[in-house]
Amino acid sequence: GENVEQHPSTLSVQEGDSAVIKCTYSDSASNYFPWYKQELGKRPQLIIDIRSNVGEKKDQRIAVTLNKTAKHFSLHITETQPEDSAVYFCAASSSYIPTFGRGTSLIVHP
Amino acid sequence: EAGVTQFPSHSVIEKGQTVTLRCDPISGHDNLYWYRRVMGKEIKFLLHFVKESKQDESGMPNNRFLAERTGGTYSTLKVQPAELEDSGVYFCASSRQFDTQYFGPGTRLTVL
């Protein structure tokens, strides 16, 4: 089955800095890669996703890159703000059931 | 549109007791999924309903877990009898087709 590794487990940055979270996957058949953000006490929410026919996707301050050959994908957040503080989960799927990483706790210090 | 709702938000029970978790998906979403996150670990798939039918229950840990979705609307997940290792946050998600899944707020289950 699919195995997703996510790093780092904790990331602490100063407001305004960039943050990068990296994930690797094992199943070359995976073709859909969503990222979820879970704020404290709230539900995981999809913030961006990418499919395997695309190498990069941007949405304002967040971007995701995908390297199919190396089987890794990354989330980039620029100009971080305190409200970006949350747990971020990457996932990979070849069907409708995503395999999630363990999550990265991002802390943005004002 | 109203989001996915789950009840209760928290449940504390003793080992050997029974607990039933409920999930109400977004109206019109035929697909309903249950997941569990044990502290510090990944969100793990438990099972998937399409309407009232179990499409995939490969993630269910053992036969102490029973999920139902009678009538294809809300779903329940019963744990009987609960064990210590069942503690975690149980998430429900729903989707219209096999696309974006919308998560509920989760039920935090603590088994003492």
pLDDT tens digits, one per residue of B19-50: 999 999 999 999 999 999 998 888 999 999 99
Q: Return d(Cα B49, Cα B72) in angstroms, integer.
A: 8
CB burial string A78-98: b at 16+ within 10 A, e below: eebeeebbbbbbbbbbbebbb
Strand bridging mode A4-7 / A19-25: antiparallel
Could you read off the pLDDT of A67-103 as tens digits, one per residue? Answer: 999 999 999 999 999 999 999 999 999 887 899 999 9
Partners of B107 in beta bridges:
B90
Half-sphere exposure of B70 (CA within 13 A, CB side): 4
Using DSSP's 3-state secondary structure scheme, residue B55 falls into strand
Q: Tell whether A110 is within 8 A of chain B (Cβ).
A: no
In this prediction, residues B79-90 reach a mean pLDDT of 96
Contacts of A42 in chain B (CB under 8 A): 105
CA pair distance B31, A20, nearest whole angstrom: 32
- CA–CA dist B104, A70 (Å, integer): 33
Residue A45: pLDDT over 80: yes
Q: What is the DSSP letter of B14?
A: -
Q: Give A98's contacts in chain B (Cβ within 8 Å).
A: 45, 101
pLDDT of residue A2 exceeding 90: no
